[in-house]
Amino acid sequence: MADAVSIFMAIGLSEQKAKETLKNEALSSTLKKAIEQAQGLLGSASIDKTAGTLLYNMVTRLKDSNRLSFLTEYIITRKITSELQLSAALDFLKNHPQENLDRLEFEAACGVGVVVTPEQIEDAVELIIRKHKDQLLAERYRFNMGILMGEARTALKWADGKIVKNEVDMQVCGTCSNQSKSLCISVCMCTEIFCCFSGEANTEGKSLMEQLRGEALKFHKTGENYKTEGYVVTPNTMTLLKKHLEETGGQVRTRFPPEPNGILHIGHAKAINFNFGFAKANNGICFLRYDDTNPEKEEEKYFTAIREMVEWLGYKPYAVTHASDNFQLLYDLAVDLIRRGHAYVCHQRGEELKGHNVPPSPWRERPVEESLLLFDRMRKGMFAEGEVTLRMKMVMEDGKMDPVAYRIKYTPHHRTGDTWCIYPTYDYTHCLCDSIENITHSLCTKEFQSRRSSYFWLCNALDVYCPVQWEYGRLNLTYTVVSKRKIIKLVETAIVRDWDDPRLFTLTALRRRGFPPQAINNFCARVGVTVAQTTMEPHLLEACVREVLNDTAPRVMAVLEPLKVTITNLPTNAQKEVRVPDFPANEAKGSHVVPFSKTIFIEQSDFREVMEKGYKRLTPDQPVGLRHAGYVISVQRVIKDGCGNVCELEVSCASSDSVEKPKAFIQWVSDPLQCEVRLYERLFLHKNPEDPAEVPAGFLRDINPYSITVIESASVDRSVGKAKVFDKFQFERVGYFSVDPDSTSEKLVFNRTVMLKEDPGKI
């Protein structure tokens, strides 16, 4: 096995993917054959990662194994070099099953030999942008970037998608160069989001409700389940659907079904928005249903945190339910399944049931009465854990045979205590709970597509109402991990404090860092409801955060590394109040008052003893303005400590009306509050810390040593003195900050949520 893993990793597969591939005997055998053929063509054992990835994708999708050597040759000789060409090749072969292919026709169909030059890409993109220039500049970042990308891909069918995207980015920014910088950044960000859709219908510029309302997603109408592709119609289907419509009144019903064994993360935010949002957009209802069928891993704190996060994102469940609410009914249905001849008690051990090549059970055809008796004995606790299971007689889409329906666990359940010692599995429970709750649209992530046939099979085998399962792509972020097991490792090794450490991307961590729920929902809307898995950069989420905080976070002045400044031409007891607008762009939204006296504090970085080219703030030869105060200060004397470090400035001040306008204005504080400030950076150094090819030593060895900086003696103006936990502010010229739960009545603690868009050194 180790040799096979090495062979698969040598063509670019991760260790995990290589091991998963080995579980599928047919797939791994075909892949080995393709690798051997490729090595024969190359005359070498070395296959580059690009070709290796194409070989793997070809093997997983190729229906006719007789075409294996044919396609392998095209990949290794670099006639097929992209996923786009491979897809076209596979489609051609599917539609031309005859043995003797017209190679010229095949090569024309999949772009063999087509070269798209950079000049052609540049010219095509230029024409497209010129066509939409007026609308682009008028709508700014709300412009539907899918129009540009869609037309570019149509005009440049065989061009490298990344190069096309980069050219669109560059020309959009060039077009916007005479407009604001933020427009350029925002439009390029939208382009990047669109490119993650892999050619799917673009959602840019649409609200989540617009994306989910009515027929926008092409879902079935309530009661018309039978019109869905793959839905199995039985003689009783229409009767069951009629009864379902009578009970629901034709109302859309969805559910969000998390396992209460961990904290929700950013990927769950998409699931919450999709399930609750689809119901809301279509005047329906959504259940929060805990899939609490594994008492070994479930804790009360997770139940509480999950509901809290759902409501924090702005959604109210129609009802909070539990799979355990139905334990008796699920058991009764299992008995019925046995009676119908669709399930049996099996004595194969857990290790024998792992993987895709499980040997057939010798107990598959045991008599119904015998299975009923043994299942009753399982219920009464007469077997040891792992000794027996109840299995369903069916084959799943991924080839897995006879999935387990019930297993034994002698662990008290948080709700039912010791009442049960057998617990249903996801494959058994999920569809039946959906049926019991009359769910119309069972929305789940793409990895559950292989369970769709078992979902339909079980409902039909028991002759109960069968909902429709729809799959969508997962949302992932780079530079992080969201696996429960890996987060626990981070906590256990004290790399992070807990599940809500602001460097993580759990929802509790994002809340603690200061991310507004509206920003997370906006991010999910921008990503859109896609079938393909989307992997996004954190800065795209942070851009959504800035947009919300720019409108909602009041401005205050703070100094993270204070430098004392004494204004020599003010009296010792000089004291005045300065009114500072909470939102300078809209002063009608309120203001607060801060003191101004002979002694103030500025940022150490806002003073340089030696003038440098381009530096606009305070130097011995260059004055600077004080924001909101109406004064300009000029250095009179620089005071240093015994180590030669500047520790104080003596300055004079003049009314800003009486002197030439300075090149810059800086923030300051007087008689401030002392606070602690925590500055966060990415937790991991590499984009994909879980990928062995990128981080061979494992994710625990990829920690950024500078992911947190704690400043214990920062200064902030007194207007924030009564701030509550999670209150958010913009520290002028510094960034957006949120009050941390570690704050006390004696000392506030602030977490930096995100930096400002602008580089504060250039303001």
Average pLDDT over residues 312-329: 96
Residue 145: the pLDDT is: 66
Instruction: Specify the 3-state DSSP secondary structure of 229.
Output: coil
Strand partners, 566: 599, 650
Domain boundaries, given as residue ranges, for the chain: 1-110, 118-176, 473-552+673-716+721-762, 563-670
Residue 48: the pLDDT is: 84
Quote the CA–CA distance of 390 and 410 in Å, as a whole number.
16
Average pLDDT over residues 364-369: 95
Quote the CA–CA distance of 177 and 190 in Å, as a whole number.
17
Residue 440: the pLDDT is: 96
pLDDT digits over 277-296, tens only?
A: 999 999 999 999 999 999 99
Does the pLDDT at position 388 exceed 50? yes
Kindly name the residue from 259, 561, 676, 694 that is annotated as catalytic.
259
Q: Which segment, 92-106, 118-132, 416-430, is predicted with the most confidence on average? A: 416-430
Residue 763: the pLDDT is: 38
Nearest to 579 by CA among 550, 552, 555: 555
Quote the CA–CA distance of 335 and 672 in Å, as a whole number.
71
Average pLDDT over residues 544-572: 95
Quote the CA–CA distance of 384 and 410 in Å, as a whole number.
9
Instruction: Label residue 758 by pLDDT band (50, 70, 90).
Output: very low
Q: Which segment, 194-208, 389-403, 543-557, is predicted with the most confidence on average? A: 543-557
Does the pLDDT at position 627 exceed 70? yes
How many Cβ atoms sit within 10 Å of the Cβ of residue 639? 11
pLDDT digits over 44-85, tens only?
A: 778 888 888 889 888 888 878 888 999 999 999 989 988 888
Residue 474: the pLDDT is: 85
Instruction: Specify the 3-state DSSP secondary structure of 702.
Output: coil
Does the pLDDT at position 184 exceed 80? no
The C-alpha R_g of the chain, in whole angstroms, comes to 31
Instruction: Label residue 340 by pLDDT band (50, 70, 90).
Output: very high
More confident residue, 621 or 160: 621
Residue 236: the pLDDT is: 93
> Is 474 in the active site?
yes
Quote the CA–CA distance of 436 and 466 in Å, as a whole number.
10
Average pLDDT over residues 403-426: 95
Percent of the chain with pLDDT over 90: 60
Residue 150: the pLDDT is: 76
Quote the CA–CA distance of 481 and 684 in Å, as a whole number.
9
Does the pLDDT at position 142 exceed 70? no
Instruction: Specify the 3-state DSSP secondary structure of 722.
Output: coil
DSSP for residue 622: B
The CATH number of 118-176 is 1.10.10
> Is 63 in the active site?
no
Quote the CA–CA distance of 26 and 3 in Å, as a whole number.
17
Instruction: Specify the 3-state DSSP secondary structure of 152.
Output: helix
- Going edge to edge, which strands form the sheet with 624-626? 599-603, 562-567, 646-655, 631-640, 624-626, 665-666
> Which ranges of 156-265 does DSSP label H, i.e. alpha helix?
161-176, 181-195, 208-212, 237-248
Instruction: Specify the 3-state DSSP secondary structure of 735.
Output: strand
pLDDT digits over 682-691, tens only?
A: 999 999 999 9
Task: Please give, one letter per residue, the 3-state secondary structure of 22-56.
Answer: HHCHHHHHHHHHHHHHHHHHHCCCCCCHHHHHHHH
CA torsion angle 392 394 397 403 (round to 10): 20
Residue 413: the pLDDT is: 94
How many Cβ atoms sit within 10 Å of the Cβ of residue 46? 9
Quote the CA–CA distance of 137 and 131 in Å, as a whole number.
12
Residue 504: the pLDDT is: 96
- Can you read off the two tokens belonging to residue 38? 């490729």
Quote the CA–CA distance of 64 and 556 in Å, as a whole number.
67
Does the pLDDT at position 521 exceed 50? yes
How many Cβ atoms sit within 10 Å of the Cβ of residue 456? 21
Instruction: Specify the 3-state DSSP secondary structure of 81.
Output: coil
- Can you read off the two tokens belonging to residue 358? 């499980």
Residue 675: the pLDDT is: 97
| Domain spanning 563-670, CATH class | mainly beta
Nearest to 112 by CA among 80, 90, 69, 156: 80
Instruction: For residue 339, give Cα distances in angstroms to 28, 372, 502.
Output: 38, 8, 53
Average pLDDT over residues 120-140: 83
Residue 623: the pLDDT is: 96
The CATH number of 1-110 is 1.10.8.1290
Kindly name the residue from 17, 33, 79, 484 that is annotated as catalytic.
484
Contact indicator for 435, 460 with CB cutoff of 8 Å? no
Average pLDDT over residues 28-39: 90
> Is 340 in the active site?
no
Domain 1-110 matches domain 473-552+673-716+721-762 at the CATH topology level: no
- Can you read off the two tokens belonging to residue 111? 């772009």
Residue 178: the pLDDT is: 46
pLDDT digits over 422-478, tens only?
A: 999 999 999 999 999 999 999 998 888 778 888 999 999 999 999 999 888 888 899
- Can you read off the two tokens belonging to residue 458? 């079980």
Quote the CA–CA distance of 248 and 545 in Å, as a whole number.
38
- Can you read off the two tokens belonging to residue 282? 């279509």
Nearest to 74 by CA among 45, 105, 32, 103: 103
pLDDT digits over 645-684, tens only?
A: 999 999 999 999 999 999 999 999 999 999 999 999 999 9
Half-sphere exposure of 38 (CA within 13 A, CB side): 31
pTM exceeds 0.75, yes or no: no
Task: Please give, one letter per residue, the 3-state secondary structure of 507-539.
Answer: HHHHHHHCCCHHHHHHHHHHHCCCCCCEEECHH
Quote the CA–CA distance of 479 and 536 in Å, as a whole number.
10
Quote the CA–CA distance of 453 and 427 in Å, as a whole number.
11
Contacts of 595 (CB under 8 A, 6+ apart): 575, 576, 577, 578, 670, 671, 718
Residue 2: the pLDDT is: 59
Does the pLDDT at position 176 exceed 70? no
Instruction: For residue 510, give Cα distances in angstroms to 242, 263, 515, 520, 751.
Output: 44, 12, 5, 9, 11
Q: What are phi and psi of 516, to 5 degrees?
A: -70, 145
Nearest to 491 by CA among 501, 483, 481: 501
DSSP for residue 431: H
Instruction: Label residue 355 by pLDDT band (50, 70, 90).
Output: low
Instruction: Specify the 3-state DSSP secondary structure of 666.
Output: strand
Contact indicator for 669, 716 with CB cutoff of 8 Å? yes
Q: What are phi and psi of 593, to 5 degrees?
A: -110, 135
Quote the CA–CA distance of 608 and 622 in Å, as a whole number.
10
Residue 199: the pLDDT is: 35
Q: 182-191, 278-287, 696-705 — which is least confidently predicted?
A: 182-191
> What would be the CATH architecture of the domain defined by 473-552+673-716+721-762?
Orthogonal Bundle (1.10)
Instruction: Specify the 3-state DSSP secondary structure of 371.
Output: helix
Does the pLDDT at position 185 exceed 70? no
Residue 218: the pLDDT is: 77
Contact indicator for 514, 171 with CB cutoff of 8 Å? no
User: Which residue bears the tokens 């009545």?
Assistant: 745
Quote the CA–CA distance of 297 and 484 in Å, as a whole number.
11
Kindly name the residue from 289, 474, 617, 627 that is annotated as catalytic.
474
Does the pLDDT at position 203 exceed 80? no
Residue 174: the pLDDT is: 65
Mean pLDDT of the residues in the chain: 88
How many Cβ atoms sit within 10 Å of the Cβ of residue 684? 19
Quote the CA–CA distance of 526 and 518 in Å, as a whole number.
12
Residue 533: the pLDDT is: 76
Contact indicator for 200, 531 with CB cutoff of 8 Å? yes
Residue 487: the pLDDT is: 93
Residue 214: the pLDDT is: 60
